[in-house]
Amino acid sequence: MITPAIPKSWYLPSKPHKFCPGCGHGIVLKALGEVIDELEIQDKTVFGCDIGCSLLSWNFFACDSTQTHHGRTTPVMVGIKRARPELITIGYMGDGGGYSIGSQHLLNSAVRNEKVTLILVNNTNYGMTGGQMAPTTLPGQKTETTPYGRDPEKTGYPTKGPEFLAELTPEGAYIARATVSKYKQLKRFLKNALRNQMEGNGFSFVEVLSTCPTNWRTNAQQTWHFLEEEMEPVFPVGELKSPFGKGGDK
Amino acid sequence: MVKKQLEPLTTPMEKANFHIFPDFCKGCGLCKEKCPNDVLIWSEKLGVYGTPIVKPKDEESCIACLICEMVCPDAAIYIEKKRGKKAV
């Protein structure tokens, strides 16, 4: 019998999942599920999701999951890790929860080099509430609250999270930016981030550039074009800080 | 909980068998646009949201690179490579 190519750690009765057609969350969570399978950490993983579109992943995995206040996934995960250091904690959030509402928690746990893994999905807007401007909205991009395009004179330039976290964190941290259009690289970065936590080196953070066809008002072709031609030049993809060194990501 | 009947639609091709699960496919079209050889086209069958699903246009053009399987957010596509056929 042919079964779908889904990771073992996915919770099958909740599929098909509740994300919109073409949403990048499914690709990120598929990569994360495959990495959890490969590292065989399903029974000791705690998965925490934020408010926003990312909360639709609350029943995504067949592992312990929790859902927190907006932006407060980071401190909850840090608390779980401090109480039970043998567990693997994964915080999963969107760019609004991570960079605007939860930026204080993100920043301070990075400074303290907490041994948690955080995954931040960047789709350049607040998807669940209808596509308002987020800290990561590109200059000139039209959203619900910037109908004439984002004006950097008034609202500033997009937040580059991995760049500032790479400056703040001490040695041992793992900071990277991936994109859903390069699946194998995304999987490698997520695996490195989890390995970094398992080895106890320090803070692990991966920002993933993702798609949002519903709020970008794009078809499939324009979605890939926006992600690859407009987002990736503004947000360069790659590892910014890695304790494994270059090429040490076996 | 209703147990899902996961029956794939299978298209045999030269280098691989193309399986798609209409219960999972939402018809977003990301696979169709990402395919390097433009193998996939819209089918007449409908997926879980009542939108068309994809199917391969012919038997020869697929190179079994697995990109459609990787970028499917819903894991609806499964490419079963045929033994001895190398991806180009």
What is the average per-residue pLDDT within A48-58?
A: 90
The total of structural domains in chain A comes to 1
Q: Which residues contact A81 (CB under 8 A, 6 or more apart)?
A: A87, A89, A114, A115, A116
Q: Where are the domains of chain B?
A: 9-81
Asked if residue A48 belongs to a domain, the reply is yes
- Chain A CB contacts of B29 under 8 Å are 22, 219-221
Asked if residue A248 belongs to a domain, the reply is no
Asked if residue A74 belongs to a domain, the reply is yes
Asked if residue A133 belongs to a domain, the reply is yes
Residue A222, token pair as written in the block: 């324009």
Residue A21 to residue B49, Cβ atoms within 8 A = yes
Asked if residue A247 belongs to a domain, the reply is no
**Residue range(s) defining the domain that contains residue A64:** 16-241
pLDDT at A243: 87
Tell me how far apart the alpha carbons of residues A130 and B34 are, in angstroms, rounded to a whole number. Answer: 27
Level-2 CATH architecture, domain B9-81: 2-Layer Sandwich (3.30)
Nearest to A16 among B26, B51, B71 (CB): B26
Asked if residue A233 belongs to a domain, the reply is yes
Chain B residue closest in CA terms to A185: B70
- Chain B CB contacts of A184 under 8 Å are 70
- Chain B CB contacts of A190 under 8 Å are none
Q: CATH number of the domain that A138 lies in? A: 3.40.50.970
pLDDT at B4: 60
Q: What would the pLDDT profile of A153-197 be if each residue is shown by its tens digit?
A: 998 999 998 998 999 899 889 999 999 999 999 999 999 999 999
ipTM: 0.88
Tell me how far apart the alpha carbons of residues A70 and A54 are, in angstroms, rounded to a whole number. Answer: 11
Asked if residue A43 belongs to a domain, the reply is yes
Q: What would the pLDDT profile of A89-121 be if each residue is shown by its tens digit?
A: 999 999 888 899 989 999 999 999 999 999 999
Count other C-beta atoms under 10 Å from residue A43's C-beta: 10
Give yes or no for a contact between A2 and B10, defined as CB atoms under 8 angstroms apart.
yes
